[in-house]
Amino acid sequence: MNYRLLIRIPTALIVISKMLFVVCLVAQAEAPAGLPPEVEAAQLRIKLYQGQEYPLQRRVLESKIRVAKARVESFERQREEYDQFTKFQHSAPLFGQIEFVKIAQVAAEEELKTLSQEKSLLERFHQDKVRLLELELELARRAYR
């Protein structure tokens, strides 16, 4: 008879049962029983804001800023290309296209400026938002003491 199998099976079961026990302890520690719904909701709002909403908003804004910068650079290159055709004395070929590019460049620069300011405001008031959520949690806890 192969005794190694008899030794390995119980140790594997012990390791698995220990892992399940730890998972159960962690799950109970994260969601303590008996909390009022308002307190639990306030805790979840803080957790969701810090773990999901704020990082997502930052990533979206950073992505939009990269796209806006690329647009601005593209319009600058287009404008430089079209500028070589404006050297004529009596007329400017592609005048309509040149004006379109100039307006599009201004719009892209304004969008970039707005997105940069929006990101700056998001980062500047992040701690205030977290503090507000913490105060709401504290008020919910006090209501149930």
Identify whether 114 is part of a domain. yes
Identify whether 21 is part of a domain. no
Instruction: List pLDDT tens digits, range 78-123.
Output: 998 887 777 665 666 677 888 899 999 999 999 999 999 999 999 9
CA atoms of 54 and 46, how far apart (whole Å): 10
| pLDDT for position 108 | 96
Give the total number of structural domains in the chain: 1
Identify whether 9 is part of a domain. no
CB 130 within 8 A of CB 114: no
Instruction: List pLDDT tens digits, range 1-46.
Output: 455 544 555 555 565 666 666 666 666 655 555 778 889 899 999 9
Identify whether 25 is part of a domain. no
Identify whether 5 is part of a domain. no
DSSP state of 52: I
In whole angstroms, how large is the CA radius of gyration of the chain?
30
Identify whether 70 is part of a domain. yes
